[in-house]
């Protein structure tokens, strides 16, 4: 099966078209004011309307207040909501039951013990994204964790690999980890929040070599 590719932090029609044209399976819209990739709900909704049905829209949020999340869902109509804060398995299970929307949870991987705790999200999240520990931001920092930690890992639920992935290293990351989905943001930018259409194309191509 081909590796799924998510290009996160899309913010313009041109970079959206580049991701779609390069064969991305998912594109991410960030609604988090502290991020250089932050989009207003109006802008995210505008871009979401331009997506073909074959590409899933992922709305990234960080510990949103319930009313903020509800408004974001009404405005953007995402296929997936990616939770990137401290949301618990119980909160994700409740979200899925109430909305019927696919829920992903980003989780930091520091060591083997981090992986052991992921089983708590089985039945609560549709997918977990394994990412490097947070620094300035919860994600999108361009740093990778030790991929050898997930080599041969028996995942308890669907998962994806994030953190520090670039066109130059994504093929090796997939080879080492067997990741069924790869997620990049800063790795296809020319400056924080500014995507590069050539890097998007190169990443998608390398992920499928």
Domain map (residue ranges) of the chain? 4-207
66: tokens are 């319930």
**DSSP structure class, residue 122:** B
E strands within the chain?
4-7, 26-30, 56-61, 80-83, 102-108, 127-131, 159-162, 181-184, 189-191, 194-195
**Taking the alpha carbons of 71, 75, 77, 80 in that order, is the dihedral positive or negative?**
negative
Q: pLDDT value at position 137?
A: 54
Question: Please, what are the averages of pLDDT over each run of 10 residues along the chain (209 residues)?
Answer: 94 98 98 95 98 98 95 98 95 97 95 90 97 64 83 94 96 96 97 96 95
Residue 43 and residue 194: Cα distance in Å, rounded? 15
Phi first, then psi: what are they for 160, rounded to 5°?
Answer: -145, 160
Query: Do residues 87 and 106 touch, judged by C-beta distance below 8 A?
Result: no
DSSP 124-179: TBSEEEEEPPPSSSSS-S-----GGGGTT---SS-EEEESS--TTTHHHHHHHH--
Helices and strands in the chain: count of H runs, count of E runs = 7, 10
Q: pLDDT value at position 142?
A: 65
Query: Any idea which residue has 């080879």 for tokens?
Result: 175
CATH of 4-207, one of 3.40.50.300, 3.40.50.1370, 3.60.21.70, 3.20.20.70: 3.20.20.70
For the chain, the distance separating the N- and C-terminal CA atoms, rounded to the nearest angstrom, is 12
Query: Do residues 18 and 201 touch, judged by C-beta distance below 8 A?
Result: yes
């Amino acid at each position: 099966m081909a590796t799924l590719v998510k290009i996160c932090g899309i913010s313009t029609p041109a970079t959206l078209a580049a991701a779609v044209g390069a064969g991305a399976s998912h594109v991410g819209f960030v609604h988090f004011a502290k991020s250089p990739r932050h989009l207003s709900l109006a802008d995210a909704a505008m871009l979401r309307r331009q997506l073909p049905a074959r590409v899933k829209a992922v709305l990234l949020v960080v510990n949103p207040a319930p009313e903020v999340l509800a408004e974001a869902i009404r405005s953007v109509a995402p296929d997936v909501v990616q939770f990137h804060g401290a949301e618990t398995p119980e909160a994700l299970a409740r979200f899925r039951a109430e909305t019927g929307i696919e829920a992903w949870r980003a989780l930091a991987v520091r060591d083997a013990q981090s992986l052991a705790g992921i089983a708590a999200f089985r039945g609560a999240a549709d997918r977990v994204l394994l990412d490097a520990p947070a620094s300035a931001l919860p994600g999108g920092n361009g740093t990778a964790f030790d991929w050898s930690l997930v080599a041969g890992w028996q995942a308890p639920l669907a998962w994806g690999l994030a953190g520090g992935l670039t066109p130059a290293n994504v093929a090796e990351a997939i080879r080492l980890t067997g990741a069924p989905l790869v997620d990049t943001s800063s790795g296809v930018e020319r400056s924080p929040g500014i995507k590069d259409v050539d890097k998007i194309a190169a990443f998608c191509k390398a992920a499928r070599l």
